Chain A
Amino acid sequence: MDHDCGCGNEAPAAHHTGHGTGHHTAPLTFDADGQLVVGPVIRPELLTRPCPIGTLDGSWLLELERRTVFGPEVRGAMRIEVGNSSLRVSGDMYSRRVFPPVLEPRLPIPSPFPIPDPGPLAGAVAGGVRPVAGGPDADTVEHGAEAGEAGAAGDDAAALAFPLLGFRWYPAFPTSEYSWYFRSNGATYAGGTLTVQIVRHLWNRSTQEFVSTDTGTLTLRCRRPLVVAAAATVLGPSQQMTGTLSIGGTVTDVTARKTSPMYRGCRIEVDAMVNRVFPASATIGSGATATVRSVYATAGWDVTVVTDEINVPNDADLTNAELATLMTGHRQAVPGEGWRLWLFVGSSQGGLFGIMFDDDTVPREGAAGFADVRLGNDSFIAAAARGRPLDEVPAAFLRTLVHEAGHAFNLWHPKHDVHNPGIGIEIMNQTGDVMGFATAANPYPGNAGFVFSDHDRTSLIHSPDPQVRPGWKNFGWGHGDLSAGLPAPVDVAGLGGDTGDEGLELTVAMPAQAFVGEYVTAEVALTNVSDQPRTVTTLINLSEGDLVFLHTPPDHSLQHLVDVAIGCGPRPTVVLQPGESVRNHVQVFFTNQGVTFTEPGRHTVAAQLEVDPLTTVRSAPVTVDVRGPASDAEVDISAKTLTPGVGRAMALGDFATDVSARAVLTDLAEQHSDTDTGAAGALVLANALTRTFSDVRAQDVRAAAPDEAAHFLDLALSGRSAQRAAELAVTVASPTEKDAPVVAGTIAALKPRAKGGARSAAGKDFAAAQRVAADFTEPQGR
């Protein structure tokens, strides 16, 4: 089995090995951009290993290499859906001939997903939005609003604090170039190679129907670089896979570039009639907050809601003709091929809650919900909702609007769906059917499910573009009378490497609460719960590739793999006797995805550890309730830690040549060392200033400043237990740097506290601190 770290190191024997080779003992070196520089022994391009399977999950741009300059340019969207024990792939390919032929065929840079204009209701734009593009978009406004006084520290500063994540986008091309759809018919993923048996459905551009099928094999290799290529991407290099497509008697080289951890995106423009209220968010039955965006995120859709007009002139009753006219008159012109939908908050149309009114020759571009229609007075309707206009019951109105938008993506009512998926409480059921499951004890809308059924979720993720994309095939193609659509992709058989292991237990302990900008650490422990000795990795840190965290933000958009992959080396192992554990403390404040907890709300984090080349174990998820900073001190801390450069410095334990990060860290340490966040800042400074720093590109050397280092170490340790001080020290030290000065320095500075003897409270505290440090420098089972 391939445990290929690319460093030319064999997995060592089943005993603990030291770190006497390569960069493990070398001081960290950064260039002028703050980029980590590794020693000359290691060839960075070799520092790769197979991607964890979760890396595959999401949207990819798939490009076929042109066979000749006269050949067509073929590229499209590929969606890989990785579930707990499933892997499905589908894609939509578009081709065009490029005249005159160019020698170096290059894809036109696809227009990124448009950055929404916040509009007049910007503060109410879908909650918990991760930035679609890491810029000052609607999310900034949302964040400023929810973070309360954090905004006072400067909205722009808060915006800039978001690291540049790069665009999330979803490959979209002119419908006139559509060429074929493919879906998986079984797949395997092993050793970093994804092999997909595909069924291809060829499209007839004249009849606008699929006409024939053939089969082939798509092979893609996913390698994960361990060394960061560019400072601009901080710690998150873009994912790319290369491989071949074998179909129709030919083999073509292909490249896949990841565009998003989600599968598809759509911009939804909301216009509202005067005095009608769009439910920007609603409290649903579970007590959670839902938005149009969050509901679509449960189906892997990246929906950006843009509230535009809110004063469309009044008209008490709307016909479909009027709705069509309103759409023509009020819909924004948006250039490019990105998917978009117009959602209207209107008055009424008889007794209807909502309608997808657009089924003309460019169909499914608009849907409407009706604010004025009133809920009934039945016992199965929540007392507070009885007799109320729909827009005074946000959960009910939100459900209707999400439902109507679902029709625009060609979803049908389950009871009318040709596949007979069965009725229930999910989004695409008619409200009447959901009410059929309501009782006086569990009334509507509290009983409604704000999720899509599996049948509809699969359709949203995998059905062909002509079926799903607004403006293409008519309503009824896919689940209705026009066509039953194409079969869904077939699941993978026999996933390797993600099977878990009943003899090992991975646990994560984290604080249950945190505020945005707070320095958060976790303790990760791997325990042998079997009755046999087990040989396991000791690399229980985020920097060397064995451990990753799976992070789910409050909007339930897909999990992100987070780590701080910078190092690569042999995988040292240790034998765990039955009942023994290896453990380590790690920071989860800042990773390759930037600051982890930027959004108020309930986050979940689970750890995943590659124990050995054949075994990956996953922890139970832990929840972290994140709130905005509240006190003046928290607001100040948040503003400082979210300053660009500071998070990275805290993740690497060094500010490199970033003088502004150094200045902010200094203020943080001087003003807030009573908090763990301030102490962590002090420890970063203590670590960095103890030693010289070489800027290889500028051929400059930052001199050591031992006096300053000692001062900051003092700040960090005072008023803090030895154990907690040691925990913070090991989390700010770079895990690839086992001899980081801050760890040794902390233990040395704490030692005098133990003079009362090993049995004293102080002595026990110091012993605990020593264990924490030992877990970092030389992990052992115990």
Chain B
Amino acid sequence: MTDTAADTVRGGGLELRLRPAAASVPLDRVVFADVELVATGGPATVSARLNLVEGDLEIEVAGAGRTPVRATWPWPVDSAPRSVDLPAGGRLVAAVPLISSGSVPLFAAPGRYELTARFAARRGESVAARPVALVRTAPDDAALAARLGDRDVLQSLLGAGVIGAAAPSLELLAASADAGTAAAANLALGRTGVLADAAADPAVVRAVAALLPPGATGQDDRRDAVASRVTAQAAARDAAALTGRPLAE
């Protein structure tokens, strides 16, 4: 069982990093996080499925006094393995939404949470990130937080399309002062122009990359529109998260 490229031993040397976009986020906003897999040793061939959709990446969320839960996509999927070659020091970068465990809101209440990411980087080899803290604070708008916890709404955000009766709630979220939250709602509502106009904001790019992860989701005009506004020099990381192409450094 060792003739797949992914099994070729290259001396380990992989590091997984998880970093929430903000250390503290009110419950009426969507939390996004950046994830990176770095080839700290030599070059490495690794799974390209660095997203929550396909099941290689798992993020466990532990709140004080609560049973840890996993951030998972609401819908189980099946896909072929995909791999990518990282040069020495190269990075695979991605963004993830921390919205739900299945179809249940991931963060039940304000509090301090510890997040641990684990990635099946190669066959038989799983890499864990150092745990990071995230504080969820009370919502500025409790009604909006409640809408964010609605099944149809969170599925619409994660499915990047309106599901069920979510449209009115998505309109309210699209008006959020938080750029990432608004972008997530606009994505579900199909407002390509609004997203493209806001593409200079890294929070918008992160939201689009997290909710339309490259590889797991197909060609998408909304993602293309945002990517076309991101200049490679100014935001190489943003572009890489949108395309799934690794960064050399």
Contact = CB atoms under 8 A, between A and B. Distances in A.
Residue of B49, B78, B215, B218 ringed by the most chain A CB atoms within 10 A: B78
B186 to A, nearest CB: 15
B78 A400 contact: yes
Contacts of A361: 151
B161 A360 contact: no
B79 A321 contact: no
26 contacts: A317-B220, A320-B155, A320-B163, A321-B161, A321-B162, A324-B164, A349-B217, A350-B215, A351-B215, A351-B216, A352-B54, A352-B78, A352-B216, A353-B79, A353-B80, A355-B75, A376-B80, A432-B79, A432-B81, A436-B123, A439-B3, A474-B103, A476-B72, A476-B101, A481-B69, A481-B102
Contacts of B80: 351, 353, 373, 375-376, 431-432, 435
A481 B74 CA distance: 11
B41 interface: no
Contacts of B70: 481
Contacts of B161: 319-322
A502 to B, nearest CB: 39
A476 B82 CA distance: 26
Interface in A307-327: 317, 319-322, 324
B72 A351 contact: no
B218 A353 contact: no
Interface string A347-373: 011111111111111010000000001
Interface in B200-222: 215-220
Contacts of A319: 159-161
Contacts of B156: 321
B48 to A, nearest CB: 10
A246 B139 CA distance: 53
Interface in B158-173: 159-164
A361 B54 CA distance: 23
Nearest to A476: B102
A231 interface: no
Interface in B117-166: 120, 123, 151-152, 155-156, 159-164
A47 to B, nearest CB: 53
Contacts of A480: 72, 102
A378 interface: yes
Contact of A350 (B81, B162, B216): B216
B22 interface: no
Nearest to A358: B75
Interface of A: 317, 319-322, 324, 348-361, 363, 373, 375-376, 378-380, 400, 403-404, 407, 412-413, 415-416, 430-432, 435-437, 439-440, 474-476, 480-482
Contact of A355 (B76, B101, B103, B151): B76
Contacts of A439: 1, 3
B55 A320 contact: no
Nearest to A349: B218
A375 B78 CA distance: 12
B77 interface: yes
A359 B151 CA distance: 9
B4 interface: yes
Interface string B213-249: 0011111100000000000000000000000000000
Nearest to B56: A432
Contacts of B79: 351-353, 373, 430-432
A380 B75 contact: no
B194 interface: no
Contact of B76 (A348, A349, A412, A440): A412
A437 B81 CA distance: 12
Contacts of B33: none
Contacts of A379: 3
Contacts of A324: 163-164
A359 B55 contact: no
A482 B102 contact: yes
Nearest to A381: B80
B104 interface: yes
A321 B78 contact: no
Contacts of B164: 324, 360
A348 B218 contact: yes
Nearest to A396: B80
Contact of A440 (B3, B74, B215): B3
Contact of A359 (B58, B74, B215): B74
A430 B81 CA distance: 9
A475 B217 contact: no
B218 A474 contact: no
A406 B245 CA distance: 33
Nearest to A390: B80
A360 B75 CA distance: 10
Given A320-B163, A359-B103, A379-B3, A350 B218 contact: yes
B75 A359 contact: yes
Given A348-B218, A356-B77, 18 more contacts: A319-B159, A320-B159, A321-B161, A321-B162, A322-B161, A350-B217, A351-B80, A351-B82, A359-B74, A373-B80, A400-B78, A403-B78, A413-B55, A432-B80, A435-B81, A475-B103, A480-B102, A481-B72
A657 to B, nearest CB: 59
Residue of A351, A412, A413 ringed by the most chain B CB atoms within 10 A: A351
A367 to B, nearest CB: 9
Contacts of B123: 436
B116 to A, nearest CB: 15
A481 B101 CA distance: 7
Nearest to B162: A321
A400 B82 CA distance: 17
A475 B72 CA distance: 12
Contacts of A416: 55, 58, 72
A322 B156 CA distance: 11
Nearest to A442: B1
Nearest to A431: B78
A359 B102 contact: yes
A616 to B, nearest CB: 43
A534 to B, nearest CB: 50
A164 to B, nearest CB: 41
B77 A352 contact: yes
Interface string B77-99: 11111100000000000000000
Contacts of A430: 54-55, 78-79
Residue of A353, A378, A431, A432 ringed by the most chain B CB atoms within 10 A: A432
Nearest to A418: B70
A412 B70 CA distance: 14
A349 B104 CA distance: 23
A482 B56 CA distance: 20
Nearest to B71: A481
Given A354-B78, A356-B75, A475 B102 contact: yes
Contact of A320 (B1, B75, B101, B218): B75
Contacts of B103: 359-360, 363, 474-476
A484 B1 CA distance: 32
Contacts of B55: 413, 415-416, 430
A403 B79 CA distance: 11
B111 to A, nearest CB: 19
A712 to B, nearest CB: 62
Given A353-B80, A380-B4, A436-B123, A360 B217 contact: no
B23 to A, nearest CB: 25
Contacts of B76: 355-356, 404, 407, 412-413, 475
B144 to A, nearest CB: 21
A359 B54 CA distance: 17
Contacts of B159: 319-321
Contacts of B218: 317, 348-351
B230 to A, nearest CB: 20
A321 B76 CA distance: 15
A354 B77 contact: yes
A481 B70 CA distance: 7
A400 B79 CA distance: 9
A622 to B, nearest CB: 36
Contacts of B81: 376, 431-432, 435-436
